[in-house]
Amino acid sequence: MSQDLFEYSKKKPILPGAAISSAPQPGPAAGESGMSEAPVSSGASNPFAGIVTLDELKDVASECRRCRLCETRKTVVFGEGNPKARLMFIGEGPGRTEDETGRPFVGRAGELLTRIIENGMHLRREDVYIANVVKCRPTVDGLGTRDRPPEADETAACSPFLLRQIEIIKPDAIVTLGNPSTRFLLKTTEGITKLRGTEASFEGIPVFPTYHPSYVLRNGGDSSPLKKDVWADIKKVMAKLGLPLN
Ligand code: SF4
């Protein structure tokens, strides 16, 4: 099975019995203005605490100018998936393809994540919810030539959107993909290599850190030894959610 996780398959994914109902909610994002650094916390301190649906929150994000990334983005990539998903995947930020399409994880790394969800977990992509820490594409020069992780002030400005997404969705488990989302949710400076393979917690929600798909692709691609680690992490998530490990 560990190999199937990363291979292309034309077979229809099997949706496990009870678990995860579907109600896709794709598309671009929403906005607000002001260059302030919002507090990195949920609850009443969140400026979006009064927003009760993902659609409303997306509308706000679509016009957001809370940080410098608004100057270079093409599209705000809010996130997509089942608004009642039991499982959320959280990456770091949109890349080129995501910026152009307004959808998260649709480039090469997105294809790998989709294979993990569909071939490995036997879920449909639209059954889970996929988002990023920042909703606009960070690039090294602001000209769109090379992606970079979000800066601390960009994460601080954008995090109220993610925190509110989590509060509205109320997932049973979260998979953080790579350092930025893992460090943000777990409030740590430890690296993903040390944190993956363990179950952590955010506001009572189990969190399973693992490698970002693009990191796997950069480190051996389909031959990457990291595949085994990712699959081990995903199996822990499946066990937590009661999904069959067939
Ligand atoms: S990254 Fe987030 S905070 Fe910054 S402009 Fe985009 S939506 Fe707003």
- pLDDT attached to residue 20: 41
In the chain, the N- to C-terminal Cα span, in Å, equals 8
Q: What is the mean pLDDT of each run of 10 residues along the chain (246 residues)?
A: 46 36 30 32 78 98 98 97 98 96 96 97 98 97 87 97 98 98 98 97 98 96 92 98 90
Q: Which of 37, 66, 151 to mutate to test the pocket of ligand 1 (most atoms within 8 A of CB)?
A: 66
38 falls within a domain: no
Q: Rg (Cα) of the chain, in Å, rounded?
A: 17
CA of 42 to the centre of ligand 1 (A): 17
100 falls within a domain: yes
Residue recorded with tokens 């994914």 = 13
| 3-state DSSP assignment of residue 200 | strand
CA of 167 to the centre of ligand 1 (A): 19
- pLDDT attached to residue 145: 84
Q: Cα separation of 31 and 204, whole Å? A: 28
CA of 11 to the centre of ligand 1 (A): 37
Structure tokens at 154: 């960009």
Ligand 1: atom nearest CA of 67 is: 4
Q: Residue 139 sits in a domain of what CATH number? A: 3.40.470.10
The range of the structural domain enclosing residue 159 comes to 47-241
Q: Are 207 and 229 in contact (CB under 8 A)?
A: no
2 falls within a domain: no
CA of 47 to the centre of ligand 1 (A): 14
21 falls within a domain: no
Structure tokens at 2: 């560990």
| 3-state DSSP assignment of residue 36 | coil
- pLDDT attached to residue 7: 53
* Type of residue at 149: P
35 falls within a domain: no
Ligand 1: atom nearest CA of 150 is: 1
For 13, 36, 66, 93, 160, the CA distances from 48, given in Å and listed in that order, are 36, 14, 13, 20, 7
What's the domain count of the chain?
1
Residue of the nearest CA to atom 4 in ligand 1? 67
Query: Which residues have CB under 8 Å from 32's CB, separation 6+?
Result: 47, 48, 60, 61, 63, 64, 65, 66
| φ, ψ for residue 239, nearest 5 deg | -65, -40
Provide residues with CB under 6 Å of ligand 1: 61, 64-67, 69-70, 76, 134-136, 154, 157-158
